[in-house]
Structure 1
Amino acid sequence: MSTQRRPAHTGSPNAPAPLPFSGEPAYFGLMDSAPRETPDDDRNPLHLLSLDALRRRTSMKWRTYPEDVLPLWVAEMDVPLAAPVARAITDAVALGDTGYPTGTAYAGALADFARTRWGWDGLAVERAAIVPDVMLGIVEMLKLITGPGAPVVVNCPVYPPFYQFVTHMDRRVVEAPLGGDLRIDFAALEEAFRHATTGGGRAAYLLCSPHNPTGTVHSAEELTAVAALADRYGIRVVADEIHAPVVAHDTAFVPYLSVPGAENGLALMSASKAWNLAGLKAAVAVAGPAAADDLARLPEEVSHGPSHLGIIAHTAALRDGRDWLDAVRAGIDDNRRLLAELLADRLPQVRYRPAAGTYLAWLDCRPLNLGDDPAAAFLARGRVALSPGTSFGTGGAGHVRLNLATSPGLLTEAVRRMAAAVD
């Protein structure tokens, strides 16, 4: 098991000179006010911001590396804010509505989204609670159903904070590696469940759905099998479904709590990834019918953690930002195809399977012979920042994660630089 944290990359006086950027010009440049409606001739929000505009952002994606580096690593999208979300925020600020969070508007909007988008009417507002964000919500759910030192099963390679948060809260990670097809390997999962429950005690399974970094979208059959296996071993399932709204147009997302046997499960959902709202913290914890009593024990002070403006923004996104989301999903579908074409042309040794979920691409760079951390080579030689696969646990060595939620021009330039780095 790997618990390696993402290395901090800094500039160097000996860094290579910046490579030229051949991206597309912005339609509007840097917007001076709330985002306008996308023009009729281009509904793709990923096309709207220039590299110069993006570099004026002060978030982690754009301030971790020097300006000559193209950042395609952390899960932030290169898009303007959806207009309905921007209006909701500016209206709240104009009113001075910046107090403490309360109410069920967020959970209600999420329930309606789940019903209309996923065909699931089982998200009951009375079995939901607001939490600061998905990872802190996961921590609170694990506290409710496990004790100190308890095992938590994860499917590696997986989102690095799964390791960091679980171990920080005095639980221990048990890995169940994905199969060669990047889907759940049920033999490995059962072995992990058996190991986790040896000697008794409470254990949990932290399910990433859709899976980060591979983008795998679990089927109803797979999730039903997960529920049956968890029931057999007495393991409680906590599902991280933060990427649920971001799936390909020909793919159906299946909420874990919607499948037979998942009644005692818990899930964490948020609009943050799909609408690029990571800086506006808020999420919803949802309990299956048999887990309602567990969620009822959630300390009242946890509900003070979300941002009130975050809840306003997330609620507006779920209710009024669906057309914007569909435009982004179409753009990500295009970028998946574009990346496959670019790699086939410039880096044919790299193995890439376009995934149905998330806006992340998992690239197997082992044939390039760049060692366990090819991201370091792409950064040093090509000035492209990618997430190192080693941070994602067992199975991540020799891989990188690339963020597809950018313009086609920037994506094209990034692959050009990556190819130049190995020439």
Structure 2
Amino acid sequence: MNLARRLLFHLARQVYNVVIHLLIPVALLHFFWRARREAAYGQHVGERLCRGPAPTPAPDLWIHAVSLGEMRVAGTLVEALARKRPNLRIQLTTVTPAGRAEGERLQASGLPVEVRYLPLDSPPLVRRFIRELRPGALVLIETELWPNLLWQCRRADLPAVLANARLSPRLRDTYRRFRTLYGPLLAGLDWVAAQSPADAAHFRALGATRVEVAGNLKFDVAPGRARTDLIRGHFLGERLWVAGSTHPGEESRLIEIHHRLCERYPHSLIQLLLAPRHPARAESIVAEVREAGLSAVARSQMDPSGTAADVIVVDTLGELAALYALGDAAFVGGSLVAHGGQNPLEPIAGGCPVILGPDTRNFADMVALLVEAGAVLQVADVDALFEALNGLLVDRERARELARHAQETLDIHRGATERTLALLSPQLRPD
């Protein structure tokens, strides 16, 4: 890097640090505000300011996963590492309560991990965290590129790698806009394991120099990892469909679709298991369903013997992947509104036939692959979603065929875990 670029990079970091320190009070207020409805946001706040005991002994590996989906990917890596290196000590960090809950579940399962929140991206906080943690290497999952985290790793000679790397169009535009800051930081990574050739090309264009295509670790996520005490018999209807990871603006459309299904089959009980992306919204969704003239119950309030409610709204964390396996069909949210879609692999891994809305730009390569393989259905609008659901709920053979193609596609594309571990092996401390 020549002198002019070094100066611009230094200036960009200083500007970023001014902004991040102005935002720290805002972030803390945000956590306490969210805690009014989600108590977990008010817990362990000190960890976000680098307070709390450092692990003893120091971990061999530090894996950072921002939230629930990324933590499940981290779990796939951890399980594979534990099989190969049972004495390995691993520190997991995350940003959200959902990510922390999944990390704690991994810990409770007997895996060699500790879990805590990542400190806010302030130079003194991150520097202190790295100094106290003393890890052997850092693995970042997907797109967690915090500038001070990467810079302090470089200053501490801590190997840092990016696994399961992908760039959504929004993030790609952001990193391109701030390439003066992110280019040198990406160049400082020991390696980037990209999900696809397109992702690899984007990372190289932004400044990363050591980029490999390892595939998508989410294809390797085990379907049985999530747990639920519900069984199909708890849902008393003849048919059950699941709408998972839904966003504001989608639920009203899904409720309308379910109303139409109930009207089309007045002598059959069809039920909807509706899981908003943020469970704190469940109470308002239950009220919305009732206003629409349908019966509704929150999952946490279900009668132990089962329910005949038209709509069951999921207000719990960590169950959705297991709940998909109970459905006759599934819709994956974030795709009927301008959000970019959520990961469709969880319902596929659970053996459920999957329908997606039109906006899946966050997983564009994956969805294109799945659609081409006949592994999922993608629809253009609400009316098309209604017809696709109706078809799968009525034509059981068509539903089984779709699920079978999806499983075959999953099997073909598994193996990213082993390729990622091969890249990671040189960064691990010897036994």
Higher relative contact order (CA 8 A, sep 6+): 1
What TM-score comes out, normalization by structure 1 length? 0.30
What TM-score comes out, normalization by structure 2 length? 0.30
Q: Which has the larger radius of gyration?
A: 2
